[in-house]
A and B are shown apart, each in its own frame.
Chain A
Amino acid sequence: MPLLSLNAVSRTFGTTRAVDHVSLDVNQGEFFGLLGPSGCGKTTTLRMIAGLEKPDSGSIVFQNEDITNLPPERRGFGMVFQNYALFPHLNVFENVAFGLRARHKTKAEMNERVSSALELVQLSGYGKRAVDELSGGQQQRVAIARAIAIEPALLLFDEPLSNLDVSLREETRSELRELVTRLGLTAVYVTHDQEEAFALCDRISVMVGGRLMQTGRPRELYEQPAEISVASFLGRNNLIKAMRLSSSNTADGEFKTLEGEHTLHLRVKHDDLAPLNKPVYVAIRPEHVELSMNNNNAENSLRGSIREIVFGGATSTVRVDANGLLVEALVLRTNGLEVNQPCNVILPPDHLTLLKNP
């Protein structure tokens, strides 16, 4: 039984569908990510979970209880805002104690819970400080302490690290994950940063244009994207337009690329086969493309010539023109490679993914 379920939740602002029939389940103890480009509706989805936004249609269920119309203050979810939303007129202690005062806790319990929350975020002894005296990273920790002090049933994060600089962001990221795991909390985490989502989350939903495209573990999403939008949003990808060949009668799919007219073999299940004579997209990651200097008989080996070599530090990108089809390959070394040199690119069938039609 999932802890939290969104059932076909929609929200429209004016004429734009910010969130369009989004359904998802979050399990107890899970670190769940909502990932997507800016404006994709992920923050609106989070705000509907928090109760700050009301869905136009659909329902939100938490622990078997419909909370769609419950005001935020009665949900008991802790939320960490993108700009932290610390109360400027209250000091650190009072900020963290805010939710406890609203719950009319005794003074002793409040003191204990505030100091343990501050300890958890390594800010013991900062209680008397004004919040504007703190650095960005420290303010961030206060926001987290404030959210966990109420012992939330669910912890919501709205791009909490986006205002930190890069080195601090990575450090805070691992601390955050450790903290949530240690306290046994369930978290929903909104971000547009794919690396951040991959590092933090057990499962991720990718949202594009208000719709939920795919939900899965980070590796699944990366290696088997279901849609073009997911494939192109998550890292670099070669998207090859192709058509299934009518002559194909094996269990494998046999496709002809529209550019270069190469024949490609894919390992796809029979029922996933694309319709005949209709263009579809086949995707392969640049790091899975192999480059070979000599002619060979490997499966899906295409003849071409090097168009461009882009040095990128640890790895470099080589663009190969295979009879009009441009393929990107990631290589460790560029020694001995030259522009216009003839070569073969090999697209291993195991790594070719057939994408759903958009």
Chain B
Amino acid sequence: MSHGLKRRSVALLFVTAIVLLYGVVYPNLSVVVSSFQRAGAWTLVNYREILSQRIVIEAIVSSLGLSVATVLFCAVVGVPLAFLFERFTFPGRRIFAALAALPLVLPPLVGTVAFIFLAGETGMLAHGIQNLFGLQSPPWRLRGWPALILFHTYTMYPFFYVLTGAGLRRIDASLAEAARSLGASQTTVLRRVLLPQLTPSLVAAALLTFMTSMASFSAPLLFGGDVRVLTLEIYTARQRGEFVMAITETVILAVISLAALIFFQRYEGTRRFAAAAMKGAPRRRASISSGTVRVLATILAVVFAIVLVLPVATLFLVSFAREGSWTTQTLPSAYTLANYQRLFGDPYAAEVFFNSFTMSAIAAVAALLWSFAVVTVLRRGKNERRFFGEGWRRLLSLLVLVPWALPGTVVAVSVAEAYGEPSLLLGSFVLVGTFWILPVVYFLRFMPLVVRALQASMEQLDPTLEEAAGSLGARAWQRFMRVTLPLVWPGAVAGTLLAFVIALGEYVASVLVFVPANRPISIAIASELRDFNLGAAAAYGVVLIVIISISMMLAGRLERLRG
């Protein structure tokens, strides 16, 4: 390819490296270094002290236990659902299929709040049963292990459902037919043909579920009860002012997360199947022959669809509840628009929305621009080994992924630790305490999403198109502007929108480092909740959900534009 662009390539490489150095390498290193230091001297005493506390050991065990349990429960729910809805067709199938991924787009804090309104001991279900049977006390308390596992299963089962479904769609129908023609029974086909091919999807789903559960913060905070997980421990340690303890626990959380990532990816690597088949026919969904089973499947689809929608519907209802109208009643007794009027009239609320919008937009746009630099550099590294070695390219992709693999808690704590006082890299400028801390944290947390979206678009791009443009006389810049960019921007912008909406509802990292000048929506929701302004908290959540839905629809449009 062309060799005349050395200067531009070097500039891109420089930008890429600087961001990774400031955003990923230095903060993470400084957390690790601080965890091994006390009073300026190297020591293991921090670890020794912390690991001798029962509460910390409990937190580690709880985090791991909760994550493993979450993976198992999500698999048990998600995989059979994927088989049912991907392999068969019956009335009602589409209703569920359309809603299946709904919990994934709920911001964790909003989901948690909705769940409390629905299933908490003062929620609609509990009140309903209490009123129906005239009970003295609520029939259950939404606390501890069962509550956490239930909520995690509700929010994270889509990883298994979506990835298993995608895996099933990829499997060539003729493989199962070939197995049947060779004398294999239905169950043998499932065990020896389908499941082995699904392994990569299942491993990927398990990884995502495990990592998300490990990073989970809102649910343990609001209804974890006695279950103390690491993210919560880190938060409370910081609240108490025990920064060294928080940092050491952060390192432990980061190590567990990265170890899980490596473990799962190892396993995935050994089980990847090359598409050995030629052009295959996708499997058609079979219709269920037995009438009873079909009715059961339909009922199941409708029930699950209702279960999926209920928390959001609850939130919606509560957002219209008049203050004080929902105490012991099953449903609020009086409705009003006051909550929304407050939201749009109150200067405080307006400021919160403005903050979240501005910070998320800054982070998302920066991620979009930067991802072009990273992806260009990575692609050049792949095409031209002379540009830089394969080892460097691997390291670069790894560093880009690190903030994605680390829990939000870790990202926030490490940035706060690195830039909490005058530092080597920023001189006298202290990032912590300024407006910019949150845009930076949002950028770091969500730029891997944008990079991956752009990479996926680039991979779909037929390389001969750029070659054709080159043979027609287009220089590198013209090739990029006139061929590459027009073809990849829908995917990249879709990824950017996704990053934007996730940042909009971000809570885990924000709660650790926000300042009055950049108070985001999630902090406002939490404080309304603390003041028992349930309607106002719900109204914030509904507005977030509406914005997210619109953005996701736009992103979907863009995805189709690309196809």
Binding site for B on A (CB under 8 A): 50-52, 69, 71-79, 81, 83, 85-89, 98-99, 101-103, 146-147, 150, 156
Contacts and interface: CB of A to CB of B under 8 A. Distances in A.
5 pairs of A and B residues whose beta carbons are closest in the complex: A99-B472, A71-B2, A85-B468, A85-B464, A72-B470
27 contacts: A51-B470, A51-B471, A52-B1, A52-B470, A52-B471, A69-B3, A71-B1, A72-B467, A73-B2, A73-B470, A78-B471, A79-B471, A81-B464, A85-B462, A85-B468, A87-B468, A87-B483, A98-B469, A98-B472, A98-B474, A102-B472, A102-B473, A102-B478, A103-B473, A146-B468, A147-B471, A150-B472
B467 A81 contact: yes
Given A71-B3, A73-B2, A88-B487, A102 B468 contact: no
Interface of B: 1-4, 462, 464-465, 467-475, 478-479, 482-483, 486-487
Contacts of B478: 102
A69 B487 CA distance: 29
Contacts of B4: 71
A238 B479 CA distance: 52
Nearest to B478: A102
B138 to A, nearest CB: 59
Contacts of A77: 471
Contacts, number: 77
Given A73-B471, A73-B473, A85-B464, 12 more contacts: A71-B1, A71-B470, A72-B2, A73-B470, A73-B474, A73-B475, A81-B464, A85-B465, A85-B467, A99-B472, A102-B478, A103-B473
B464 A83 contact: yes
A150 B474 CA distance: 12
A98 B481 CA distance: 12
Contacts of B464: 81, 83, 85
B475 A72 contact: no
Contacts of B465: 85, 87
Contacts of B472: 73, 78, 98-99, 102, 146-147, 150
Contact of A99 (B473, B475, B487): B473
B382 to A, nearest CB: 14
A76 B464 CA distance: 17
A91 to B, nearest CB: 13
A345 B474 CA distance: 61
A74 B465 CA distance: 17
B486 A52 contact: no
Given A81-B468, A102-B478, A76 B2 contact: no
Contact of B462 (A83, A102, A146, A150): A83
A146 to B, nearest CB: 7
Nearest to B384: A54
A74 B475 CA distance: 8
Contacts of A156: 471
A75 B3 CA distance: 14
Contacts of A101: 482
A242 B532 CA distance: 101
B1 A102 contact: no
A289 to B, nearest CB: 39
Nearest to B561: A89
A74 B486 CA distance: 23
A46 to B, nearest CB: 11
A92 to B, nearest CB: 15
Contacts of A50: 467, 471
B386 to A, nearest CB: 10
A78 to B, nearest CB: 7
Contact of A76 (B468, B473, B475, B479): B473
